[in-house]
Amino acid sequence: MNYGLIAGNGRFPFLVLNGARAQGVSLAVAAIKEETDATIEQHAALVEWISVGHLGKLIKFFQRHQVTQVIMAGQVKHVQIFSLNALPDWRMAKMLARLPRRNTDALIGAVADELAREGITLIDSTTFLQDHLARAGVLTKRAPNKHELADIEYGLHVANELARLDLGQTIVVKNQAVVALEAMEGTDATIRRAAELVRNRPLTVIKVAKPNQDMRFDVPVIGLQTLDTLKACHVTAMSLTADKTLIFDRAEVLAGLNQAKVSLVAR
């Protein structure tokens, strides 16, 4: 059984390569011309550069290397798929024409279907990153205090409703009142807005996976950038969904949170 990787932007694909290597697995990497960091060539033995709309070429690459299991890691900006730099090939164009809606879930689902027809299965993107998943419990030295726990309980209720509606994944709470709700602006912008609104008084952040989170893509992630935002915005506690959230640079993130006395829990 051979594994492949469709590498989008950011560090996610690099971490997958490292995780696989640690288990003695090497991956056939399809790097996306418009997205993937060029240094990926130094981290993988087998890399082919493929433009974002070239689905036929992608399938042929994996078939050539007998790949049957593929991981998708790192963002591919939605807008790229319809850009002039990346005109779709015949196979992609046919697939797009059949799509009733062109949102991210529909697009990735359709790509997964095309791959499946050729005997290539899209698998859990955390397959080689099980060590990076947040396991249930208090992850920092400090546990949430009574007030933070009350905010987390209330926030989880609200965040789960939002995630169920497939809106945002992050909410910011103070004194059991919601200060900010995420939609398209992303986690960091949501936290920064909340900090401005309460003039840098302490906040609690709740970030959740979707109720039926598809682990093949769009898995929630926190990392060093999240750490910086939490510290800058006077967040004192954060809650994640256990077993469904990745923590990149875990040791540094947890050390930074401990130093700033921020409490991180997964539940």
User: Interface with a copy of itself by CB under 8 A: which residues?
Assistant: 101, 103, 158, 161-162, 165, 167-168, 171-172, 176-185, 193-194, 197
Contact present, 237 and 262 (Cβ < 8 Å): yes
Residue 211 CB, shortest distance to a copy of itself, in Å, is 14
Which residue in 84, 17, 98, 30 sits closest to 62, CA to CA? 30
Residue 166 CB, shortest distance to a copy of itself, in Å, is 9
Pair type for strands 246-247 and 221-222: parallel
Which residue number, 84 or 177, has a Cβ lying nearer to a copy of itself?
A: 177
Which residue number, 47 or 180, has a Cβ lying nearer to a copy of itself?
A: 180
Pair type for strands 67-73 and 121-122: parallel
C-alpha to C-alpha distance for 45 and 61, rounded to whole angstroms? 14
Residue 243 region by backbone torsions, left for phi larger than 0, else alpha for psi between -120 and 50, else beta: left
**Phi and psi, residue 114, nearest 5°:** -60, -45
Residue 80 CB, shortest distance to a copy of itself, in Å, is 16
Which residue number, 194 or 247, has a Cβ lying nearer to a copy of itself?
A: 194
Contact present, 206 and 173 (Cβ < 8 Å): yes
Which residue number, 40 or 162, has a Cβ lying nearer to a copy of itself?
A: 162
Residue 161 CB, shortest distance to a copy of itself, in Å, is 6
Residue 164 CB, shortest distance to a copy of itself, in Å, is 9
Which residue number, 68 or 75, has a Cβ lying nearer to a copy of itself?
A: 75
C-alpha to C-alpha distance for 50 and 46, rounded to whole angstroms? 13
